[in-house]
């Protein structure tokens, strides 16, 4: 198996994602080198932090132009998934435009950020192959993608939102599969087998 490239752009805990890939027998390379990303067999875009700052870092490395053109499997995690959308309310930030969806702040919910374990609904393969309806995964986020036609899974927190997105070779998880125990391992395994 060729290495999975994890994009290191100063906006994510790449170490925990790399360890999750390697626990499943994969190889992980963490880099912000566009040439390495361009040659990758699969790519993970993790993300924690503020959207506008993260997009600035991607633009500075030319990755904002490269990522949407990739033809290999790509998985965005948390902020990484949000950046794959066309726009986020966080800092009024244009995204990569891979998913024609907008990211909005949680409103009318008991607490922001939405943090902790929550159930997945309406899961669909191939990313969720072997994952049961109602399986629980770990979230920590203040912004969400509303339920939309690109949803690969939903979650209910003050109403349904997109827990995951899928379109062609692009996938996104709003939750952290690398922190979601056996369910998260299955999701990462499915991605590595794409």
Which residues carry out catalysis? Answer: 78, 176, 178
Under 8 Å CB-to-CB from 89, ≥6 apart: which residues?
102, 103, 104, 105, 143
Sign of the alpha-carbon dihedral angle for 18, 23, 24, 27? positive
Residue 69 to residue 160: CA distance in whole angstroms: 30
For the chain, what is the radius of gyration of the CA atoms?
A: 15
Under 8 Å CB-to-CB from 182, ≥6 apart: which residues?
none
Nearest to 74, CA basis, from 152, 167, 170, 163: 170
Place of tokens 């770990």: 138
């Amino acid at each position: 198996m060729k290495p999975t490239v994890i994009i290191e752009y100063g906006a994510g805990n790449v170490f925990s994602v790399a360890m999750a890939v390697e626990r499943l027998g994969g190889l992980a390379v963490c880099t912000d080198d566009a040439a390495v990303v361009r040659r990758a067999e699969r790519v993970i875009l993790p993300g924690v932090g503020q959207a506008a700052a993260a997009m600035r870092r991607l633009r500075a490395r030319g990755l904002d132009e490269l990522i949407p053109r990739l033809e290999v499997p790509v998985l965005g995690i948390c902020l990484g998934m949000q950046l794959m959308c066309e726009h986020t309310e966080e800092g009024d930030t244009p995204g990569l435009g891979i998913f024609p969806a907008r990211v909005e702040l949680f409103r009318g919910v008991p607490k922001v950020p939405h943090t902790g374990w929550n159930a997945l609904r309406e899961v669909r393969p191939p990313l969720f192959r072997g994952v049961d309806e109602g399986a629980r995964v770990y979230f920590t986020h203040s912004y969400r993608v509303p339920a939309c036609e690109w949803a690969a899974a939903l979650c209910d927190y003050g109403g349904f939102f997109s827990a995951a997105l899928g379109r062609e070779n692009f996938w996104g998880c709003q939750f952290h599969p690398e922190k979601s125990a056996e369910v998260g391992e299955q999701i990462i395994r499915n991605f590595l087998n794409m």
